[in-house]
Structure 1
Amino acid sequence: MLLELTIRNFAIIEELTVSYEEGLTVLTGETGAGKSIIIDAIGLLIGGRGSVDFVRHGSKRAEIEGLFTIDGEAQELDSYLADAGVPIEEGSIILRREITGAGKSICRINGKLTTLAVLRQIGQQLVDIHGQHEHQQLMQTDKHRMFLDRFAEEKLTNSLREYREMFARFQKKRTQLKALSENEQEMAQRLDLIRYQHEEITNADLKPREDEQLAEEKQRLANSEGLYKTVHGSYDALYGEGKGLEWVMTAMNQLEEAAEMDPSLSELKETVTNNYYLLEEASFSMREYYDAIEFDPERLNEIEARLSEISQLKRKYGSSVEEILEYAASIEEELDNLTNKDERLHEWEKELEALAEDLLVEAGNISAIRKQSAAGLEDAIHQQLEDLYMNDTVFQASVKPREPGAMSASALVRQHPFTEYGMDDVEFQVATNKGEPLKPLAKIASGGEISRMILALKSILAKHEGVTSLIFDEVDTGVSGRVAQAIAEKIHRIAEGSQVLCITHLPQVAAMADTHLYISKYGQDGRTVTSVLPLTQEEQTEEIGRMISGVEVTDVTRDHARELLEQASQKK
């Protein structure tokens, strides 16, 4: 649920903080006061498309910040947050979006910088905005499948996931087959190229980490004279007549005599004795080291030549020996495929045909689920439309698979009737009057009918979508009278136990509000300022009266407003 929204330097809004409650909150005000701007700000906050035009004139950046609470049942949202590495603090989440004057977008979740894609992914789990865009979607036939799939989500999710995994394999194999079947000249050129590359890498006979080991050996050889001098000097300082070890031995012998006279010196004697033998062993190791040092200019030249060869290969095939070897392994498979092209083509065609037949089965399962769910959606829509005074309307969700009939597996591969979502075309059809035939929704529905269809769909789908806040931006366009009252009651019913924000010009909807916010604008210091104020009951009566009369609020319109509020109270 959205608890608080803060907007700074966004369009005509200089600074605004609005608190929201559960239930139905309506936003009313004169046209142009900034109602839709607030919804635009929320849309931007949850990942909508940004623009420098949103930045208030004369400001460096626009800022929008929203505080949301989430309940413990939002498991999918918790998963998104965990994947994004965002901690949840006391069941709340803060989204923040900034748009600079240069058009740069900065996104944060609970103070952590994140990408716009992550903000959108999480934001759309929190808020669902419905307005003219949703009307447009309902008028687009290719979006109807999306509405049906939302309704069928619980039954469809597993089948659709399995289908998509198989579809991805099908697409990959189809792409490989197409690449292998391309122009013969291009294939021959590609074969020559990778054959040369493979031979070059193979002939180099690279060993893992060879470059690192050679670099270390080169370092030793290049510094062999200095190493011999310093290590031999260290040995000479310790070993020999009158050197360090001889003096330590003298100290050790003296302490042995002292320990015989005073046993308390035994521990100190042991320490010196142990260190003597350690130093002696170290000196022997030094001698072995400098004895093994080679002054070998020829070997140094060999190493430099080998490192130069590896460096040339790195410029072509990878930044390390391991990457070069990985590249060689990858082109080895391609080389085998191109060398045995005809055989591979035959194998892959068979694999692709088998995948196509499996896809057909999975797509059939999805079609069956959609058809079953379409019947359930139709019943639910009819029930909702009755409440909205569209009793005679017949609604049908038509699911038409791209029927392959007795198509062979090879024909399935060639014609490729599959999409990421299956093989179905879904279209909503309606007959708004008795005796009329069903026709595509996009061709016959009026603005008021579309508004009611959207509201009916949202009433059904709200429980499936799991968002915490719903926003209706003038979804009541084109209706009046008893239909307006039915829409008001429907919106309030959706808001029961959740949060709905609604911009409206209908007094019937405003009367059903649990919270009524009034948006206005005024001039201050030569600039336009927008304000949002919660209305008291008396102020709400005046505002509903203004919505009824349009200009002057009279005693008659006040009485009408009070009557609407009393009726709304009884309905609630």
Structure 2
Amino acid sequence: MLTSLAIRDVVLIEALDLEFGAGLGALTGETGAGKSILLDALGLALGARADSGLVRNGATQAAVTASFDLPADHGIAALLDENGLMMEPGEPLVIRRTVKADGGSRAFVNDQAVSAALLREVGAQLVEIHGQHDDRGLLNAKGHRALLDSFGRIDGAPAARAWKAWRAAQDALDTARADLDTAERDREWLKHNVKELNDLAPEAGEEEQLAEARATMQKGARLTEDLAAVDGELQGSDGALARLRQAARRLDRLAGDHPLLAEALAALDRAVIEAGEAEEKLAGAGEALSFDPARLEAMETRLFELRALARKHRVQPDDLAALAEELSERLARIEAGGEGLAALEAAAGEARLGYETAAAALSVARQLAAVRLDGAVAGELAPLKLDAARFRTAVEAMAEGQWGPGGQDRVEFEISTNSGAPFAPLAKIASGGELSRFILALKVALAEEGGAATMIFDEIDRGVGGAVASAIGERLARLSRRAQLLVVTHSPQVAARADRHWLIAKSHDGLVTRTGVRPLDEAERREEIARMLSGAEVTDEARAQAGRLLAAA
């Protein structure tokens, strides 16, 4: 529900703060008083195109702020959450829009900057605006199917799920067909490359192992001569290790003759041990760095083949094994012929049948709901003096190319204004007055099944009066028991039905013209309705008639 509206520097409105409540609110005033400015300002807040012409002459920018109280389960919460916006439970939703005199504009939801597109989406969930030139609401056939589904409480989820499953199965089939077509053209290429990869039989990590082993063996080739020389110095009867041992044996016989000789013997023993360890390590190094020309050549041949094949397929050597498996699978699919394709075709056919079944059930539900909706609207036409008119909800099958998650139906509201006249789309009716009443009848019928939280009717009673205006007022009052309604009206019968009444008027101070809006108390309200009845000069009879209208409301 719209609770407040603050307007700053919009056309003739300098500063205006309005508070709203539940029920039916009427906005009246003389022609040219500025009622359209008020709606333009609200439209700006709801995401309408930001026109710099809305900025009051002399001001730098226009600003409009609208506040809403919404139930905890309102769908707007999910929309805000999807877009990363916060809405605290129990807190009002505040939307704000500014437009500069140079044309730049900004939009905010709960003081968080948003795009104009998101603001329009948010605004569409908060307020419905209905008027004879409104091509977004009931006159827009694109929304008729959703309105019918809402009226009939039709669950479209099964059809949507079936559509998703069918499209997924069909996409899988199309991909498989494309892959097989491509693979068939590449059969010979695949056979050659699979054989080449399988003959080489690459393994993951093999290239690194070969490179390390090759580098080690190449080191061995460079160090072999030096290692042999070192080994020659240590080994043999004349080697360093043999001489150390011989010296230790001789010193052992003398060690008891002096403490220093004993220490020298200990040092020689340690040297013998260290030299022995050096001998073992040299032997181990020699074995690790053993150089085998034939083995080195085989390693290099294998390594170069791996790297060449990797360059050919533009992959890393470690990925050759996975590539071999992938190409083998592609070749196997070709060799298997159409067996896999047949399974996918069967799955797609089954999924299509599931969607068609769900869509057919959806169509039946819509046909039944259309009959109920047509009857509900027909019951509203006679009181609105549209006795000769007829209304129908056309539910037609669409071509397969137009099917979607919402089913296979095109839904459009159609009318025939006179007996025997053909039905035509609701948006193409000629008479503005008749169109207004059709919209009201349809809205009343739809609202019986639940409607928007806030609805605005812009001069929906234009061109009618007397009993028809009274019937319009009664239906607006009925609607207001289920939703908040604001009506811009010239009809005293409609204004008398309102729970709240605001007067829109211009004022002049000699230099500046301003538009203002103020709430009316009971006496002021009776005077305004009397003016609407009598015109410029308010008579006592008009005041008496106004009192009777208010008493009867």
The TM tier, using the shorter chain, reads 0.5 to 0.7
The residue aligned with 1:65 is 65
- SS, match of residue 506 in structure 2: strand
Letter in 1 for 2:28: T
Distance change (3 Å), C-alpha of 1:390 and 1:337:
farther
TM-score (ref. length: structure 1): 0.63
- 1:167 matched to 2:169: no
Q: Equivalences for 1:471-486 in 2 at 5 Å? A: 471-486=456-471
Once the 2 structures are TM-superposed, how far is the Cα of residue 360 of structure 1 from its aligned partner? 0.8
The residue aligned with 2:98 is 98
The residue aligned with 2:307 is none
What do you get for the CA RMSD once the two structures are aligned? 4.5
Distance change (3 Å), C-alpha of 1:396 and 1:338:
farther
- 1:379 matched to 2:375: yes
- SS, match of residue 108 in structure 1: strand
The residue aligned with 1:11 is 11
Could you tell me how far apart the structure 2 residues matched to 1:367 and 1:46 are? 34
The residue aligned with 1:545 is 530
Could you tell me how far apart the structure 2 residues matched to 1:541 and 1:48 are? 35
Distance change (3 Å), C-alpha of 1:53 and 1:397:
same
The residue aligned with 1:569 is 551
- 1:396 matched to 2:392: yes
The residue aligned with 1:491 is 476
The Cα offsets for residues 266-324 of structure 1, whole Å up to 9 and x where unpaired, read as: xxxxxxxxxxxxxxxxxxxxxxxxxxxxxxxxxxxxxxxxxxxxxxxxxx99xxx9xxx
- SS, match of residue 416 in structure 1: helix
Could you tell me how far apart the structure 2 residues matched to 1:510 and 1:464 are? 26
Q: How many residues align?
A: 433
The residue aligned with 2:515 is 530
The Cα offsets for residues 7-39 of structure 1, whole Å up to 9 and x where unpaired, read as: 112233222111122221111123333212222
The residue aligned with 2:282 is none
The Cα offsets for residues 171-195 of structure 1, whole Å up to 9 and x where unpaired, read as: 4665676677789899989xx9xxx
Once the 2 structures are TM-superposed, how far is the Cα of residue 455 of structure 1 from its aligned partner? 0.6
Q: Is the 8 A contact 1:512 1:569 kept in 2?
A: no
Percent identity between matched residues is: 32
Q: Is the 8 A contact 1:97 1:106 kept in 2?
A: yes
The residue aligned with 1:216 is none
The residue aligned with 1:360 is 356
Distance change (3 Å), C-alpha of 1:537 and 1:432:
same
Q: Is the 8 A contact 1:86 1:109 kept in 2?
A: no
Once the 2 structures are TM-superposed, how far is the Cα of residue 395 of structure 1 from its aligned partner? 2.5
The residue aligned with 1:210 is none
Could you tell me how far apart the structure 1 residues matched to 2:177 and 2:457 are? 52
Distance change (3 Å), C-alpha of 1:437 and 1:530:
closer
The residue aligned with 1:458 is 443
Letter in 2 for 1:25: G
Could you tell me how far apart the structure 1 residues matched to 2:135 and 2:85 are? 36
- SS, match of residue 163 in structure 1: helix
Could you tell me how far apart the structure 2 residues matched to 1:12 and 1:47 are? 20
Once the 2 structures are TM-superposed, how far is the Cα of residue 398 of structure 1 from its aligned partner? 2.8
Distance change (3 Å), C-alpha of 1:94 and 1:140:
closer
Which blocks of at least 5 consecutive residues in structure 1 are unaligned? 207-315, 404-414
Q: Is the 8 A contact 1:177 1:348 kept in 2?
A: yes
The residue aligned with 1:145 is 145
Q: Is the 8 A contact 1:135 1:454 kept in 2?
A: no
Could you tell me how far apart the structure 2 residues matched to 1:26 and 1:377 are? 28
The residue aligned with 1:127 is 127
Once the 2 structures are TM-superposed, how far is the Cα of residue 495 of structure 1 from its aligned partner? 1.4
Q: Equivalences for 1:12-91 in 2 at 5 Å? A: 12-72=12-72, 74-83=73-82, 84-88=84-88, 90-91=90-91
Query: 415, 423, 435: which one pairs with 1:439?
Result: 423
The Cα offsets for residues 117-170 of structure 1, whole Å up to 9 and x where unpaired, read as: 544444333322212354676555555334322312x2x13xx12322332454
Could you tell me how far apart the structure 1 residues matched to 2:99 and 2:137 are? 28
The Cα offsets for residues 306-364 of structure 1, whole Å up to 9 and x where unpaired, read as: xxxxxxxxxx99xxx9xxx9xx99xx79x959985985766554443333222111110
Distance change (3 Å), C-alpha of 1:560 and 1:364:
same
The Cα offsets for residues 527-547 of structure 1, whole Å up to 9 and x where unpaired, read as: 432211112333333333333
- SS, match of residue 75 in structure 2: helix
